[in-house]
Amino acid sequence: MFSAIILAGGRSSRMGTDKAQLPMNGLPLWLLQQVRLQQAGCDDIQLSHPQLGTPDQQAGHGPLSGLHTLLPFCEHERVLVLAVDMPWMTAALLRTLIRHSQEQPVFFKDHYLPCVLHNSSDLQSYIAKQLHEKGRRSVGALLSYCAARAIPCPSPQLLLNTNTPEDWQLACHASQGGH
């Protein structure tokens, strides 16, 4: 069993609209990611979002702020962290991460998200310190701190994330069979 946090608390400034609400396959992205997590075997899903889920305690500080807010509510030691703006993510790819996360945190090589963290008071304290001291607030620094292992991704094209309207149009066009 594992918990999951969907990171959807950002401003979506480059997209110009709330990425969590963008429709893909008839569902808003946040709900599509929730379905994929359930299909991957997750039974505890937390959503970092100002209206649809739990707002970040310290808004505007990136993904670590969402983790700081939601890690204390996660029911399991292993926590899969997934960005909402990855429209091609699959349950199979998420299961790959979970399978490799028994011994230590993992992420796909060259992509910090999604990742699996091992939740602990030490991890939560590290994140709080980084936010408080204006330290390195990056997911990369967090993964380095927890000695996370990079694993090869069997389908790296599925790790596409969409930050701009152009990215989104490309993702939608490709999902409809376009090239």
CA distance 168 to 158: 14
Number of Cβ atoms within 10 Å of the Cβ of 3 = 24
Residue spans of the domains in the chain: they are 3-175
Residue range 17-55, pLDDT digits in tens = 788 999 988 999 999 999 999 999 999 999 999 899 999
- Judge whether 19 and 50 are in contact, CB under 8 Å: no
Rounded distance between C-alpha atoms, residue 83 and residue 12, angstroms? 12
The span from the CA of 3 to the CA of 78, in Å, is 6
Q: Which CATH architecture has domain 3-175?
A: Alpha-Beta Complex (3.90)
Q: Give 117-171 pLDDT, tens digit per residue.
A: 999 999 999 999 999 887 678 999 999 999 999 999 999 999 988 888 888 888 8
What is this structure's pTM?
0.93
Element (H, E) at 10: none
